[in-house]
Structure 1
Amino acid sequence: MADQSRMTRFLLSRLWRRGLLLACLLLAAPAWSASILLTAAEDGAGVRAFTQALAQQRPNDQVSFTPLNELPAPRDLPASTRLILLDLPGLDWRLQDAQGPPTLVLRISRLQARQRLGSTHPAKISLLWSDPPLERQLRLIAHILPQAQRVGVLYDAGSEFLLRELMQAAKPIGLQIVPQLWDNTSDSRPLQNLFKNSDVLLGLDDPNLYNPKTVKNLLLSSYAQQLPLVGPNAGFVRAGSLASTYSDQADWLAVLGHLLDQPPANWPHTLYPEHFKVVGNPQVARSLGIEQVDEVAVAARLAEGEQRP
C-alpha cells in the first residue's frame, strides 16, 4: 500500500509539472513574442549553453529548455510553440505524433534521416543537416587539391543513396567520382583497390565506415599511399584527415535566427547551414607534402562561389 501511495504521488507530481509547463507556455509570453521550446534527452552543459546563447540572441522571445522526459505528447503542446529538437530521441518522440507544433530538427545527418524517414517527409518538421553538403566538400577538394581529378568514395548499403547526388555535383567541377562498396570494414582489400584508382578520398558522414574502430586503418592506409582524406567531418580532421567544412554553434545560431524571424509556414523541409567554416590539419598536410590549408581564405572562396547565381 505504501509503494502504491508513493507511485500515486509521483505520477501526480509529474502531471502537475507538465501542467505547469503548459501554463507557462500559454500565459507567460507577451503577445508580441514567440514561445521557443528546446528539448533533448540529455540535459547537459552544452545543451544549456546553446539554449542560453539563443535566448541572448532573441531577447524579445520566450526561449526555454525542457528535458524530453518531462514533455507531454507533441499534440498537447500549444500550437503556437516553435519546437527545436537537439537530438535523435527528440525526433523519435516527435514522429510518434502526427499532430504537434512546427518543429526544427538540429544535429541530424542525411543518413540518420534516411534510416528514420526513408523517402517520406512529415508535415511541420524541418530538418537542418549536420553533415557537410556534398557539393561544398567537392569544391573544397577542388580548391585545396587542384591537381586531383579522381575522388574515391567508400560507401555501404546505408550511404549508397548519396552516390547519385555526388556524381551530379562532381561533373560541373570537373571531378570524377570513383565509388567503392565497403560492406565489411574488417576487409582492407576494398580500401587498397580504391586507393589505386583515386587521387583523393572523400569521406561520407557514415558512422558505419568512419568510426573509432576504422580510423586507424583508414588513416594509416591513406598515409602509406600518400592519398589525402577529406572529411567526413571536423572531428575526423582532428583525428588525422586533411580538411573538411563544418558549421559550429555560431553558424547554427545564425541559421536559427533567420528561420525564427519567419512564419513557420515558410520554413523549408530541409536546409544546410549557409554559414560554415573550414578546418585543416597542418601536420597531415606536411606529412603528405601538401600546402597547409588557409582555413579563412578557403572558406571565403567557397562562400563566394555559393553566392553566385
Structure 2
Amino acid sequence: MGAQSRMTLFFIFRRWRRALLLVCLLLTAPAWSADILLTAAEDGAGVQAFTQALARQRPEDQVSFVPLKDLPAPSQLPPGTRLILLDLPGLDWRLQDDQGPPTLVLRISRLQARQRLGTTHPAKISLLWSDPPLARQLKLIANILPQAQRIGVLYGSDSEFLLPELREYAAPMGLQIVPQRWDNISDSRPLQNLLKNSDVLLGLDDPQLYNPKTVKNLLLSSYAQQLPLVGPNAGFVKAGSLASTYSDQADWLDVLDRLLDHPPANWPRSVYPQHFKVVGNPQVARSLGIEQVDEAAVAARLAEGEKRP
C-alpha cells in the first residue's frame, strides 16, 4: 500500500474515531449531559451549596455540577442542555465556541461583560448582572437622602460607558450627576474636588476605583466632608459606606427558576434579579448624623416603585 493510501486511511480512521466517541458520549449520558448543567473553574463549598439549592428548587429537572476542566468543547454538549456558568473562566470557555448550548451567565458585572464582549452580544448567551442597577441605586439615594441633589460619581476608563445611562435615569428624578474621572488612585485631588461639589457619592462597581487599596482614602475623605457614600455593593457597606441594594442567593435562585421555566429562545439578553434587599451601616449613619436606614421598609418602597409603570 502506498504512502498516500496509508495517509488517507489514517485520516478516515481519525474521523471515524471522533464520530464514534461523540456518539458514545451522547448515548452513555455522562454527568455533563444533564438537563441543567452548572460549571465553574473552582468546585468549592459555596458552588456545591448553590447547585444543591437549585436542584431542590427544581425537583423535576436533572441538575448537576461539573468542573470546567472536565467538560468537552461547548459544541459537544448535548443540544438540550441548559448551561449555567458560575464564573468568568466559564464564560471565556463558552465564548470560544459559538455552537454551544443556550447559556446563562450568573453574577457578571456590567464592567466584566464590557471588557470581554465590548458592545457585542453573542447569540444564545444571557447575562445575569451582579452589580446593583443604576436606577435602583439612585432611587435608594432619593429614599434615604431626599435632600441630596448633586450625585458625585467617580469613574475610570472602564466605567465611563455607564455615565450616559446614569444621567438618563437621574434626569427624571431631578438629580444632577457630577462626574469626576479618577485615573490615578494615588492622587487624591480628583476625589477632593468631587467631594466639594457633591451632596452624596454614588459608587460604581468598578474594582479599579473601589478596592482594598482605595477604601480607606475614600471613606476617610468622605467622612471628613460629612458626605455619605452609597454603594457600590453590599461588601463596601460593611467596610464603611452608608447603604446599597443587593441580591443574595435566594434572589439569584428566584431569577434562575423563572428563566428556566421558559424556553431558552425566550431568555432575555441580560437581566437584573427582580428581587433584592437593602443593607445599611448604622454606625456610619450615626457618625454622619443621618437617620439609620430601615432596610426592610426602604427595600419594600423601592420594590413597590419598580412595580409601577
In structure 2, give the amino acid aligned to 1:148. Answer: A
Structure 1 residue runs of 4+, over 4 Å off?
19-22, 25-29
In structure 1, give the amino acid aligned to 2:208. Answer: N
Asked which structure has the greater CA Rg, the reply is: 2
The alignment's C-alpha RMSD in Å is 2.0
| 1:236-263 deviations in Å (ceiling 9; x for gaps) | 0000000000000000000000000000
Q: Does 1:272 align with 2:272?
A: yes
Q: Does 1:138 align with 2:143?
A: no
Question: Which consecutive residues of structure 2, in runs of 5 or more, have no partner in the other structure?
Answer: 1-20
> Take 1:241 and 1:75, find their aligned partners in 2: how far apart are those partners?
44
SS in 1 for 2:38: strand
The residue correspondences of 1:31-180 to structure 2 (distance < 5 A) are 35-180=35-180
Q: Does 1:195 align with 2:205?
A: no
CA contact (8 A) 1:150 1:175 kept: yes
Give the Å deviation of 1:289: 0.3
- Who is 1:219 aligned against? 219
> Take 2:230 and 2:174, find their aligned partners in 1: how far apart are those partners?
17
- TM (norm. structure 2) is 0.91
In structure 1, give the amino acid aligned to 2:193. Answer: N
Give the Å deviation of 1:295: 0.3
CA contact (8 A) 1:108 1:129 kept: yes
> Take 2:249 and 2:28, find their aligned partners in 1: how far apart are those partners?
30
CA contact (8 A) 1:104 1:128 kept: yes
SS in 2 for 1:107: strand
Give the Å deviation of 1:22: 7.4
- Who is 1:9 aligned against? none
Give the Å deviation of 1:121: 0.3
Give the Å deviation of 1:28: 8.2
Give the Å deviation of 1:174: 1.1
Give the Å deviation of 1:23: 2.9
> Take 1:240 and 1:26, find their aligned partners in 2: how far apart are those partners?
44
Identity across matched positions, percent: 83
> Take 1:180 and 1:216, find their aligned partners in 2: how far apart are those partners?
19
> Take 2:293 and 2:132, find their aligned partners in 1: how far apart are those partners?
18
- Who is 1:235 aligned against? 235
| 1:118-173 deviations in Å (ceiling 9; x for gaps) | 00000000000000000000000000000000000000111000000000000111
In structure 1, give the amino acid aligned to 2:179. Answer: P
Q: Does 1:250 align with 2:250?
A: yes
> Take 2:27 and 2:262, find their aligned partners in 1: how far apart are those partners?
24
CA contact (8 A) 1:91 1:105 kept: yes
> Take 1:139 and 1:27, find their aligned partners in 2: how far apart are those partners?
42
In structure 2, give the amino acid aligned to 1:174. Answer: G
- Who is 2:3 aligned against? none
CA contact (8 A) 2:32 2:71 kept: no
CA contact (8 A) 1:22 1:78 kept: no
In structure 2, give the amino acid aligned to 1:76. Answer: Q
> Take 1:296 and 1:22, find their aligned partners in 2: how far apart are those partners?
51
SS in 2 for 1:179: strand
CA contact (8 A) 2:83 2:104 kept: yes
> Take 2:27 and 2:135, find their aligned partners in 1: how far apart are those partners?
43
**How many equivalent residue pairs?**
290
Summarize the Cα distance change of 1:26–1:190 in structure 2 as closer, same or farther, 3 Å threshold. closer
- Who is 2:207 aligned against? 207
CA contact (8 A) 2:74 2:101 kept: yes
> Take 1:278 and 1:253, find their aligned partners in 2: how far apart are those partners?
18
CA contact (8 A) 1:231 1:237 kept: yes
- Who is 2:11 aligned against? none
CA contact (8 A) 1:25 1:78 kept: no
Give the Å deviation of 1:24: 2.3
CA contact (8 A) 2:33 2:77 kept: no
- Who is 1:304 aligned against? 304
- Who is 1:23 aligned against? 28
CA contact (8 A) 2:32 2:77 kept: no
In structure 2, give the amino acid aligned to 1:24. Answer: A
Question: Which consecutive residues of structure 1, in runs of 5 or more, have no partner in the other structure?
Answer: 1-15, 30-34
Summarize the Cα distance change of 1:101–1:22 in structure 2 as closer, same or farther, 3 Å threshold. farther
CA contact (8 A) 1:282 1:293 kept: yes
SS in 1 for 2:29: helix
